[in-house]
Each structure stands twice: as structure tokens, then as C-alpha cells.
Amino acid sequence: MPPPQRFAVLATLPDAGGLRRALAVERSGAARPVVLLFAAPAAADDPAALAALSRDAEAAARVHHPSVVPVAGLEAVGEALAVVELFRSGASLRDLLDGGGRLPPAVAARIGADVCAGLAAIHALDPGDGQPFAHGAVSPEWILVQDDGRAALAGLAATSAAGVPGTGPAADLRAVGAALHECLAGEPPARPAAPLVAPGVPAALATLIDRALGVAGTQPFASAAALGAALEEAPGPAAREAVAAYADAIVPRDEGVRGSLARLVSAALPPPIPPREDGEGLAEVTAELLSPDAAAPRGAGAPPAALEVEPTPVAIPAPRPVVPPREASPDDAGRSYPAASRDGGGRTHPAAASPDAVATFPRPEPPSPRSVAPLVAALLFGVVGFGAGLLLARATPSPPPSPPAPAAAEVATPPAKPTAPAPTPASATAAAAASAKPAERSPSRPKPAPRPSGAKRVAAVRPEGTGLLSVTAPLEAEVFLDGKPIGKGILRLEIPAGDHRVEVRLGDARVGERFSVARGETWTYVVNPE
């Protein structure tokens, strides 16, 4: 049996920069959504272009900044090569321009400042050829406004994936100016670039964009950090909360393509582990538990505690924490540790904390002397009770023997409990809310115990007697299963094994088909817009 593929493609995404893209789930380790950016044949077949692609993908994986979409690396997907990006929910700047036209100047300034911050981190990296790393394809298609309002650059290494020669940081700054020009004027800049004139745009902001574009007579910016600092000052960018609200108003996060992708990702990932409600088995860790002296008031001259612990309580499993012994190291040879001192309250303090001290615990006190009278009394009562029990046992007559057990044929067999009927298919409301609420488990399957928060999430096992229905249709098309609506666009849901009918409706057009799915089988239905 061939090994399962590492990536499960969920849906195709619109092309960007002439490159094919797909939304997928990486199934190795903890499942996570990713975007596959497929390399053009010109980059995959030419040795020099392939070497440049590998170098840039490796460099892109080393860029870590909140305004840069993370890159996981270059992977083989089937017979193609793809740059793997982590999926980030949001709307592209192109979506905002197509949906709302010109942007408010403050919103455009915030997006531009975030993009410049990401570019500064990219340009600070050397991919290995002695030149600064550059994005090379900055455009509204590659600028993502995330759900929290922060703009991030996607498509890092897209230029090499397309087999196009790389550019430098100066070209990235001109591309930022072109994107901001389109945001404020409603159209890309002319060639050669002319001064920006648009109603409602502050003159200071227009001057910055002219400098970024390299308009004749202006002084270009020396770096992306310099352009970002200028955008922060004039005319004052909007808060990211305002950017997020603007993006939600133009491209709602629960509607259209954006909403369909979010629901698709939620349905493909395993449900989150719910927190325990009773709190049983949890203990509260405070400063007193980790270091008894940390919370106690220290008088003048008292030595400092070995570890300062924040007083915020943390919930952990109930067993008392045990500090493991420290591994011996070569530096311990010849090291002497001063003796501990004892204060008036009976606590033990280290005279001087060692460099690798973790916590300070009090020295065990010897048990206080106790009276032996209670022990002697307990022994006497035990002897007297044992003797009385022995006398009563001898005086009590033995019970009569029990009658013989009936033969096997005479034993009454309890009636078998009726088998619970199979669960019915999920309704349309339950299918639409699959991204927010996990499907209920069958009553015959025991509820799994909650796992620790640090454990890796594992995909749930498909219940017995069910199959998987995968529908790929236009995002606004309604999908019906056995005459009942189950959602719109792209769907993946579990259905009972057996015969069914699937139907897709878009306006007055309808198309459907009867099918049969076996247990554990996946049935795929693809409807093209034509």
C-alpha cells in the first residue's frame, strides 16, 4: 500500500502572479492549513532556475516577522514542486480594491507601513549570494490584510517560482508606491510615474508616494524602514482595529470566498480539545509552591529568593510537581556551595543562590515527639475485639448448603437489548456550523478523556458505517443531499453509508446524480461553472 500523501488539497485558489495556488491541509504531524504555490515548469526544469528557487525558498523559511506570511519550504507535491506557505485568514488588498474601490488614506497608510516593516525584515537577510533578499513581486495580490487588521506579505519566493530573474530592494519600494497609488487614486500609476493627484489625499501622503515611485525631482527612500517610518508620521495611519473593521465591511469574513475558505479549513481540521468544566485533578501553582520564600516578606539583611515568580496562578495536573535533579556538568568540579542559613521562623534560605538554582524548598523538620498513650490504647482495643470476634464465630452455627445451580438449559437468558438506530445525516444547519461546532459522537462510542494542552492534536477516527462526501461547486451554489440543503460551494462532510442523491443548484440551473458510498469510502462530486 503506498504511503498517504503529505498534503490533502481542499480547493484551488485564484492564480497570483501567473502561478497556480491551492489550499491544502498538511497531514504530517499536527494538521495545519497551508497554501501551495506551484512552481512554473520553466523553474522546475531548468537547473539554474531550480537552484535559485531552492535558495530563495530556504531563505524565505528563515524570515520570521508578523507582516510576512511564513514559508515552510519547498516540497514535491505529486509531480510538481510547490512553495509551502502557512495559511493566514484574511482578504487580499486586491479583494478590497475590487470590492470597495479607493481606500481611506489612513487605512492605506497603515497597510503601507505594515508592508514596509515586513520588507525591512526581508531585505535584512542574505539568501547566500551576497545580495540582500528581496520579494520581487510586491502587488495588491500578494498583500494580505489579516483578520486582526495587520497587513502581511505573501508570495515570498514567488519570483523564483515563476522562473523570473530576481530584483533588488529598490524595486520592492517602487512596487509599494505603485500599490499605494492604486489604493488612493483608484488606478495604477502611469509610466513614467507622475505626481499623485486625487481628491481627499493629504499632500504629505501624496509626496511620500511620489518619492516611493521615483517621480522625477523627488528623493527616493534609502530603505523600506525609512519609507515605513515616514508613513507612520504623516498623515498618521489608522489603528489596525479600524483596518480590520474596514476589511470586514468590504469583504465580510463569513461570506463569499473568504467565508467559504474559512469554513473549509475548520471542517478539515480536527476539533479543538474542550477545557474541563469540573476542574477536578487540577492544582494551583503559586509563588509559595514553587519557592516558599518568594511570597514571604523579607526583613532587612535577608538574602534574596533564588527565583522570582509571578503571582499569577497556573493550572496543572494535580500530582505535586517534582524538580528533577540537575545533570552534572564539568563546571561542577571543584565548585563549593555555601551552607544554608535558617531564619527565626524556621525557614531555610540559601546563603548565595547557585547559577542554575531552580527553586528553594524548606529543609524537612524532624517529627515532633508524640505521646505513646493513644498507640497503647489502640492495641488493647484491637486485642479485645479480635478475641470477641473469635468467640462469636465459634458459637454461630454454619449456614445450610446452597441448592445446586440449575442446568445450563434451565438458565433464563435475558432478552437482548434493541440496537439503537443509525444516526441520521446532518442537517443543513449542522453542516453550515461545522466550522464552529464539532459533530456529536455516536452514543455507542465512549467519550474520549481530555488530553493535556501540550499534546498533539490527532484527527478524529471516522465513525463506523459512514463515508465521506466531497463536493466542489461554485461558491454561491446551493448543495442538497437527499433533498435537504447541506451548504454552499465547497463541502466535505460525513454521511451514512448507502444510497444517496446529491444536487447542486445555481439560480435556475440544477444538476444532480444518484450515488452509493460504502463505509470508509470518499465520493467526490465536481461541478464546473460552465
pLDDT digits (tens, 9 = 90+) for 295-314: 444 444 444 443 333 433 43
Most confident of 295-299, 422-426, 492-496: 492-496
Confidence of residue 487 (pLDDT cuts 50, 70, 90): confident
Name the grid cell of 525: 462530486
Main-chain phi, psi angles of 67, to 5 degrees: -100, 20
491-496 sheet: strands from edge to edge: 491-496, 466-472, 522-526
Cα Dmax for the chain: 120
What separation, in Å, do the N-terminal and C-terminal C-alpha atoms of the chain show?
Answer: 37
Residue 442, pLDDT above cutoff 50: no
Domain ranges of the chain: 7-268, 428-443+460-526
Mean pLDDT of the 48-67 span: 95
Mean pLDDT of the 124-150 span: 95
User: Coil, strand, or helix at residue 212?
Assistant: helix
pLDDT digits (tens, 9 = 90+) for 16-44: 988 999 999 998 877 899 999 999 998 98
> Distance of alpha carbon 219 from its chain centroid, rounded?
43
Q: What is the CATH number of domain 428-443+460-526?
A: 2.60.40
Q: Where are the alpha helices (DSSP H) in 359-409?
A: 373-395
User: How many Cβ atoms are within 10 Å of 48's Cβ, its own excluded?
Assistant: 9
Most confident of 83-87, 279-283, 285-289, 439-443: 83-87
Residue 483, pLDDT above cutoff 50: yes
Mean pLDDT of the 89-115 span: 96
Return the H-helix or E-strand segment holding 24: strand 19-26
The whole-angstrom separation of Cα 529 and Cα 506 is 9
Q: What is the pLDDT of residue 9?
A: 93
Pick the CATH number of 7-268 from 1.20.1050.140, 1.10.510.10, 3.40.50.1100, 1.10.645.10: 1.10.510.10
Mean pLDDT of the 493-520 span: 90
32-38 and 19-26 strand pairing: antiparallel
Cβ neighbours of residue 360 closer than 8 Å, sequence gap 6 or more: 291, 292, 293, 294, 305, 306, 307, 348, 349, 350, 353
Name the grid cell of 296: 514571604
Mean pLDDT of the 369-376 span: 53
90-92 and 143-146 strand pairing: antiparallel
- Using alpha carbons only, what angle is made at residue 513 by residues 510 and 517, rounded to the nearest 5 degrees? 140
User: How many Cβ atoms are within 10 Å of 355's Cβ, its own excluded?
Assistant: 6
Main-chain phi, psi angles of 82, to 5 degrees: -145, 140
Q: What is the pLDDT of residue 78?
A: 87
